[in-house]
Amino acid sequence: MEDYITRTIFRYVLLFVLVYGVYIVFHGHLSPGGGFAGGVVMGMGMILYFLIFGLGKGKYRRLPMDAAIIVIGIGGFLEGIKFLLPHEHGPVGLPGTLFSVGIISVVNLGIGLLVASTVLSVFYLLVGEA
């Protein structure tokens, strides 16, 4: 899409969208939100990129999809930590502060990455079919 306005505004918006997603992910234990919601926000930012700039050409076309699959694996591994280490909670800080829950932040980050890349790959599959 050769629209100058959307491109320009997008350049300013994308950073805020991604940072807001990361913010939601890491404040999952302090406020409503968490891995799922933040992951969806991050994924939406990336989908916005592909909606405005179009999919890549040639062999780069499938690159985000492959990257998404790999990130899904990493996120799934981070999420699986809570099953591998059932009673470990890691270092805990003062309640109510950002880094106060130890391993749960890691798990949340894993869920966030997983959801973001899943949303992206679903978008890719839908567009690839069309």
Partner 1 sequence: MNAAIISTNYPYIVAIILFCLGCLCILTQHNLIKKVIGINIMQTGIFLFFIAVGNIKGGIAPIYDPSLPGDILYINPLPSGLMLTGIVVSFSVTAFALVTIVKLYHYYGTIYAPDIMRMR
Partner 2 sequence: MHLWDSMPFLLIIFSVLCAFISPVFARWKREYSPYLAIFSVTVSFLNSCVLAYRVFCGGIIYYHVADWSPPWGIEIVIDELSAAMLLLLSGCCLLITFYSIRALPKEIPEHATGWYYTVLLLTLTSMMGMVITNDIFNFYVMVEVTQIGACGLVAVRGGKHSTEATLRYLMLASLGSGFILFGIGFLYQVTGNLNISYIAAELAAVRQQYPFLIWATMSFITVGLGVKAALFPLHIWLPDAYSSAPSPSSAILSGLVGKVYIVSMIRIYMLVFGFQVFHDTYMRYLIMLMAAAAILFGSFFAFVQLDLKRRLAYSSVAQVGYIFLGFSLGTTWGMKAAFLHIITHAFMKICLFLSAGAVYYQTERTKVIQFSGLGYQMPVTMAAFTVSAFSMVGIPLFGGFITKYGLAMGSLEAGNPYFIILIVISGLLNASYFFPIIWQSYFTSEHNTKLVMDRVPLSMLVPIVIMALGVIYMGLFPGGPLSFLERTVNRFLL
Q: Which residues bind partner 2 (CB under 8 A)?
A: 69, 72-73, 76, 82-83, 86-87
Contact window for partner 1 (CB under 8 A) among 18-26, 30-38, 55-63, 66-74: 30-38
CB atoms within 10 A of CB 38: 26
Single residue of 32, 58, 86, 91 touching partner 1 by CB under 8 A: 32
Residue indicated by tokens 């492959």: 66
Whether the Cβ atoms of residue 96 and residue 82 lie closer than 8 Å to each other: no
Compute and round to an integer the Cα radius of gyration of the chain.
Answer: 17
Among 10, 23, 36, 50, binds partner 1 (CB under 8 A): 36
Binding residues with partner 1: total (CB under 8 A):
12
Decide if residue 23 touches partner 1 (CB under 8 A): no
Query: Does residue 2 bind partner 1 (CB under 8 A)?
Result: no
Buried b (16+ CB within 10 A) or exposed e, 87-124: eeeeeeeeeeeeeebebbbebbbbbbbbbbbbbbbebb
List 1, 5, 84, 126, residue binding partner 1 (CB under 8 A): 126
130 binds, among partner 1, partner 2, none (CB under 5 to 8 A by kind): partner 1
Nearer of residues 17 and 101 to partner 1, judged by Cβ: 101
C-alpha closest to that of 113 among 67, 81, 56: 67
